[in-house]
Amino acid sequence: MKRRILGPVVAVAVVLALAACGSAKSNEGTNSGAGGKLVVWDWKSSDKNAQNFVAKAKADFAKKHPGVTVDFVAQPFDNYYTLLGAAIQAGKGPDVMLFNGGGQIRDRATALLPLDQYVAPDKDRLAGWDAFSKDGKIYAAPITLQGHPIYYNKTIYRKAGLDTEKPPATWDALLSGCATIKQAAGVPCFALGNKEGYGIQFWMSGMGSCILTPDEYDKWIAGTRDWNSPNVKKIFATWKEANDKGLNTAGPNSTAMFMDMYTKFEGGKAANVIGLMSDVGGWHEMNPILGANNLGVMACPVVTPGAVPSLAFDGGVGYGVAKWTKDPAVAADLVRSLTSTEALTAYATDAGAIASDKTVTIAGGGPAAAVIAAAIPSGKPALHVALSAKTQDVMGRVSQQLLSGSITVDAGMKQLAAADQAG
Amino acid sequence: MQSVRSAWAGRTDGTAVTSPRPLGEGQPASRRKRPGADRLAPYVLIAPAVLIIVVLRLWPLVLGVNFSFTGDGDRNGTPVGVSNYLELFRDPVFRIALRNVGLLVLLLPVAVAIPGLLATFIFLRVPGHRLFRSVYFFPAVLSPVIIGAIFNLLLSADGPLNALLGAVGLEPVDWLGEPKLAIFTVVAVHIWATFGMALVVFLAGFATLDTTLLDAARSDGASTPQVIWHVIIPGLSRTIQFVFVTTMIGMLTSMFGLLFVMTAGGPGGSTYLPEYYIWIQQGQMNRPALASAASTVLFLVMLVVGLAQVGLLRRSLRED
């Protein structure tokens, strides 16, 4: 019997050893993208509210390349980057693909074609390029802007006797305002869902400009991040303080951000939420539920004297071109069609997004969208988008441990510093 | 084959004199060929099965292991030796994932005891046993995603269970939000969701129990606990071992859905299992080679556990 068990073990050991020796076959250089056909991967094109956008982009592209057909393949978002990873590994797949800005595209930049020479004419018309750039090269053209405004429910503020047009402007005012709201309206200040560890990202970017000084903020975005600085530590200390002082809805670690957190805010179970400004989790969804006139957007409350509140936003999602595509110029033309003013107007209107195109105005977004639009010119890139996917992952876990009290802020900062330096 | 041929030859014997001759000529030839053909035949017959296993199972396995010795991102395709493995074991989250595997093994007796005990009660015909038999099996037909969603609602911080606790004056518990508690909550839900299948296996085992032994024990005045301990458990030893093996496999391979829906690996990474880690590294972190290394480690863990269980089963079969 011993021998029978030993047999397979030896066999496996031999297989492993052989595999180790024959390691490292290069798998680059294969080609796809049949002539006359472009394949686009995204997670939006099958949505009803994206149909108009797709049709407009296709029509624009057909004018430039009448002989080339375009196939949109909508993948489920949960598995999007898993599928994309497999395609990248195989060195074949779609010619054009949709990316979230920041870490998701930067980590995969080696599989993408630099687009600088193709999108140069669009550079001034569109905003949000930074989130799709790495080492000075552009890898995708943005179609939306995504940011983290702090929404508030004016009905609850009114119930608590607070001025609905003058939400708390400092941290102390916020703390006392939240106490009033809890007493008068019986709900906490913030709806929070941190089950996936996204809550801290929204806190960092929604509150960041009020915690870091403008100089620290710009350095952070430029890549000089001092995790030992007292103000950076304050981002996490206030995160913990807010929870300890009962500012958050119950069980943030077991509440999903999408969509439980937003459902709580929209259901009047919390007075504020740090949300998004495009697609989901923002004014487009909240307006019909709360009433456009009852939804406000406030500047973050100043924590550090000298900090200047600004809206944190970046390029939201954008289309890039795979390195393996047959004719890069044609694929890049498709990207330009996807970011044409006509297509983006259709997308912004139907899906409720802030388009990357500065010439597209938001129609029918109510007061909330108007405040966001007004804040864009003075806005800055979001703090968390500058972090690598790995650091964001560690930050998610640290944030959960901070909420549950199983780690101190200092210990958390140490982990984050190590992750950021390694990544 | 020989008998068929002689019967045919016998039938034609009287009518045609010439026909057996070609057959007769052929026979020595085929007899000469047969040793080679006979030797080849079994290989040809098992070839499809072997090919499927080699091409679709072993070869990808080798490719995967091979891949785990290459780099990610900028170093895609270049050999990096064991650095992925070193990184794995330095990663606290992967260590948590392995520790959780150990925890599952430790919780295995509980996962087996619950259906065993309930099956015993049904077998002993407690009042309402017919109803319980179907009720207990019911969760086994639900998908983990549905079960996860149901328990997310039940266990949420402001959910019905905590409302119940509040009603009797207890503090609410964030069942899925406390790092020390969450893994036990998920395992408990997994056991609840899957014990129906083990229960059925136990009931089938009971059907093979020698009832005369039970009657004898009872007429000798044995109490119920004594009957369970001295008659039922020894009589069911093979069933118990089988349930152990299948429950272990179920725990190690089918918790992904529940984890994904209930905790997403959190809070603080406390509910990670290797499968979930592999999925995150491959899909979210864009680290396919590191994920391959983790898969290889998981494969080895499963191999050890599997072989230990095969050994256990084989020993028990020999006893019989």
B54 with B87, same domain?
A: no
B100 with B227, same domain?
A: yes
Domain assignment of residue B78, yes or no: no
Chain A residues near residue B62 by CB distance under 8 angstroms: 15, 18-19
A172 vs B218, higher pLDDT: A172
Q: What pLDDT is stored for residue B232 in this prediction?
A: 85
Residue that finishes a domain, picked among B37, B67, B97: B67
Residue that finishes a domain, picked among B26, B42, B67: B67
3-state secondary structure of B167: helix
If residue A75 lies in a helix (H) or strand (E), which one and from where to where?
Answer: none
Q: What pLDDT is stored for residue B319 in this prediction?
A: 54
Helices A230-244, A409-422: crossing angle, 10 deg rounding? 130
Confidence band for B53, pLDDT divided at 50, 70 and 90: very high
B292 contacts B67 by C-beta, under 8 angstroms? yes
Q: What pLDDT is stored for residue B271 in this prediction?
A: 95
Report the DSSP beta bridge partners of residue A151: A273, A297
Class of A37-145+315-374 per CATH?
alpha beta
B166 with B292, same domain?
A: yes
Q: What pLDDT is stored for residue A364 in this prediction?
A: 80
3-state secondary structure of A322: strand
Would you say residue B26 has pLDDT above 80? no
Q: What pLDDT is stored for residue B17 in this prediction?
A: 42
Domain assignment of residue B72, yes or no: no
B184 with B249, same domain?
A: yes
Please state the ipTM of this predicted complex.
0.78
Q: Note the pLDDT tens digit of each residue in A189-202.
A: 999 999 999 999 99
B42 with B99, same domain?
A: no
Helices B2-12, B20-53: crossing angle, 10 deg rounding? 150
From the list A271, A213, A266, A212, the residue with the least C-alpha distance to A236 is A212
Kindly state whether B156 is in contact with chain A, defined as any CB-CB distance less than 8 angstroms.
yes
B155 with B271, same domain?
A: yes
B183 with B314, same domain?
A: yes
Domain that holds residue B277: 83-319
Kindly state whether B73 is in contact with chain A, defined as any CB-CB distance less than 8 angstroms.
yes
3-state secondary structure of A287: helix
From the list B141, B153, B232, B125, the residue with the least C-alpha distance to B194 is B141
Q: What pLDDT is stored for residue A31 in this prediction?
A: 40
Question: Distance (Å, rounded) from C-alpha A324 to C-alpha A38?
Answer: 12
- Say which of B155, B158, B269 has its CB closest to residue A250: B158
Q: What pLDDT is stored for residue A213 in this prediction?
A: 96
Contact residues, B window 37-56, toward A, CB-based 8 Å cutoff: none
Q: Do B286 and A85 touch (CB under 8 A)?
A: yes
Q: Note the pLDDT tens digit of each residue in B238-292.
A: 888 889 888 888 888 788 999 999 999 989 999 999 999 999 998 888 899 999 9
3-state secondary structure of B276: helix
Confidence band for B32, pLDDT divided at 50, 70 and 90: low
Residues of chain A with CATH 3.40.190.10: 37-145+315-374, 150-310+387-422
B63 with B87, same domain?
A: no
Strand A150-153 and strand A133-134: pairing? unpaired
Question: What single letter denotes the amino acid at residue B68?
Answer: S
Query: What value does the mean pLDDT take over residues B9-13?
Result: 42
Return left, alpha or beta for A119; rule: phi > 0 is left, psi -120 to 50 is alpha, else beta.
alpha
Would you say residue B191 has pLDDT above 60? yes
- Say which of B74, B267, B279 has its CB closest to residue A400: B267
Question: Distance (Å, rounded) from C-alpha B192 to C-alpha B196?
Answer: 8
Cβ atoms within 10 A of the Cβ of A219, count?
15
Domain assignment of residue B261, yes or no: yes
Domain assignment of residue B114, yes or no: yes
Residue that finishes a domain, picked among B42, B67, B92: B67
Q: Rounded to two decimals, what is the model's pTM? A: 0.83
Q: Which fold has domain A150-310+387-422?
A: D-Maltodextrin-Binding Protein; domain 2 (3.40.190)
Q: What pLDDT is stored for residue A7 in this prediction?
A: 54
B39 with B123, same domain?
A: no
Q: How many domains does chain B have?
A: 2
Side-chain-side CA neighbours of B255 within 13 Å: the count stands at: 30
pLDDT, averaged per 10 consecutive residues of chain A (423 residues), comes to 50 50 40 68 92 95 94 91 89 93 88 95 93 93 95 96 95 96 96 95 97 96 92 97 96 93 96 94 94 96 96 95 94 96 92 90 87 92 90 94 94 94 73
B24 with B129, same domain?
A: no
Q: Do B79 and A18 touch (CB under 8 A)?
A: no
Q: Note the pLDDT tens digit of each residue in A79-96.
A: 899 899 889 888 889 999
